[in-house]
Structure 1
Amino acid sequence: MKDVYLFSGFLGSGKTSMLTDVIRQLKEKGLKPAVIMNEFGQLNFDSQSVEEDIPLKEMLEGCICCSGSEKTEAQIQTLLANEQFDVLLIETTGAAHPVEALDAVYSPLFAEQLNIKGIVTVADSKLWLDRDKLSPQVKSLFLEQIRHAHLLLANKIDLLTESEQAKVVFEIQNVNSNAFILQTTNGRVPLHLLEKLHSTVTNNKNDIHSAKIGVHLHLTSRLVEFQKSFTQDQFEEWIRTLPSTVYRMKGYVPIEGMKNPMLFQYAYGLVQWLPEYIRMQPKIVMIGENLDQIQIFGQDSQ
C-alpha cells in the first residue's frame, strides 16, 4: 500500500513550497516519494524544484480534474508498475476543485494499492481577508478548497497582525470546522501532521473509514465489490435513490447480458455507461459524505 497525499490550493498560495519541504522531510526519514504535478500551461517551472532522483509525472496543458483524469490514472499506473516509491504526492492546479481532483486519483484499477491519506489545502491568509474582491466563481472555488480539506494550512500568516491572524482562523473554522488548521509561513508543515491523517478509502469492500485528525471528517470514500449481475434499469433506479451527498462513483458494474462488466461513471446526478472489452474486476469507488449510511444495491444482507 502506497500512502497518497493530495495538495490543493490557489496559484501562489504556497503549495510548491510545501511540496519541496515535505519531500525533504520524507527523505530525511528514509522514505522515497514520487510526485505528480498538475499545471495548465505548457511548461511547468515548479517541477524544477523536484530533485532528479524522485519519480516525477507532470500533467501539462490540462487539469487533473477534467479531461486529465484518464491521464492521471495512466500516470499512477505507470508509477506503480515501473517505480519504487513509498509515498505519492500530488500537487493539483490552483483551479482544481478538490472533489474532482480526488476523483481523478481514485480508480478501481488500483484502489487497493493506494492508501489515500487526505487533502491538504494551502490557503493564502492575506488573500482570505481580501476574498470579497475575487470574482464570484473564484471565491466559490476558494471556499470549496477549504471546505473539503482534511488538513488546512493558513499560510503567509507572518504578513498579518495578531488580530488579523485570529480573524483568519476563526473565519476558516466556520467554513470547515473539522479540519485541523495550522498557522504557518513558507508552506511549512510538520510531517507528523500529515501522517496523522487517516485513510479515506479502505481495502475492505464493505468497510468505510472517515479521515481523522482527532475528529471525523466529512469527505470519505468507499470501495464496493459486486458478487452478481444486474440490469441497467435496476442499477439506475438505485442511483436515483442516492442522496446529493454522493458526489462521484466510477468503476465496473456487472450487467446482465454483457460479457464484461461495463465501465460506469456518475457525477452531479448524471450517469454514463460504456462497454468494456477487457474483463475488469466488478467494483466501483464512491466519493461523498456519510457513505456509511447508504445501502448498496444488491447487498441487502450487509
Structure 2
Amino acid sequence: MLEGKVVAVTGAGRGVGREIALLCAQEGASVVVNDLGASAEGDGADVGPAQETVNDIKAAGGKAIVNGASVADPAGATSIIEDAVKTYGRIDAVVNNAGILRDRIWHKMSHEDWNAVIDVHLNGCFNVSKAATPYFKDQGSGSFIHFTSTSGLIGNFGQANYSAAKLGIVGLSQSIALDMARSGVRSNCIAPFAWSRLIATIPATNEAEAQRIERMKTMSADKIAPLVAFLASDASTEVTNQIFGVRKNEIFVFSKPRPVRTVHKSDGWTVKSIAEEFLPAARPFFTDPTERSGDIFGYDPI
C-alpha cells in the first residue's frame, strides 16, 4: 500500500520506530531511517542502530538509507528531508517518533530536564515537519504522523516535561492539519502503548505500577506499525486532525477537549456566586483530579 512512496521515520533505530520503518519498507516505501542513537535520556550518539535497521530492510529486498541527525537541531532535521529528496526524489510521509525521557517528580525537575525533552519531542516535531512542508505543499499531498502519549492526553506522575511536550504535539498537529488542508496535506497523532527501552526506564514505586509495567511488556512494538503505514498511504487521504491510540490489538479514537457544562448568569458572576452557584452545578462534570493514564487503561489488553 506504500508502493512508490518515500517515508521518513525518526527514532527508527530501535523499538517502535524500527518496526514502523520495517513495515513501511515491506509495504513498498523507500525509507529514511533517522536515529541519533542516543541513550534513553538523550546522551551520546551511535549510528549503529539505524544502520542495522537499514541493513535488515535491504536484506529483505527493500530500500532504505541512514540519517543520524538530531531532530532537536533544525539543520539536522532538515537533512532528514533533504536526504529523502536527494536519494528518492520526493517525500510523502513524515513519522515523528523520536523521543527521550527524563522523568523527574515535579519539585525535582531541572530546567535542563525540561528543555531536553521539549527540544526532542515538541521542537523535533516542529523542525522535521517544517522541513517537509514546502515539498508537501508543492506536490499537493503529504502525511504527518506525530507521536503523542496518554501521559499528555490524560496525565502521569513524574512526567511534566514529557506530558507537556506530548500534549503540545497534539496542538501542533491540529494547527498543521487546519493550515495545510487546502494543500491536500493531512496531520494526525498516535498515542502508542508498547514496550520499549524508554518505558523500561520508568521505575515501579508500588505493586500496582509493577503490574502495569508487566502488562506493558506484552505490548510489542510491531503492533503500532500498521496504523502508521495506513496513515502514510493513499487509503487515508480523508483522515486528518485526529488522535488515535494503539494498545496491542486495540485501536482507539480519542476525543478532544470540548465544553461539557455551561452555566449562564444574566447579571454576571461574582466570586461568591461562583462558589455558591457555579461550583455545585459544575462539580458533577469535573474530571477526577487524581486520574492518570494507568487508571483509564488498567485492564489487560487482548
Shared topology, TM-score over 0.5?
A: no
Larger strand share, 1 or 2: 1
- TM-score, normalisation: structure 2: 0.39
Structure showing greater radius of gyration is 2
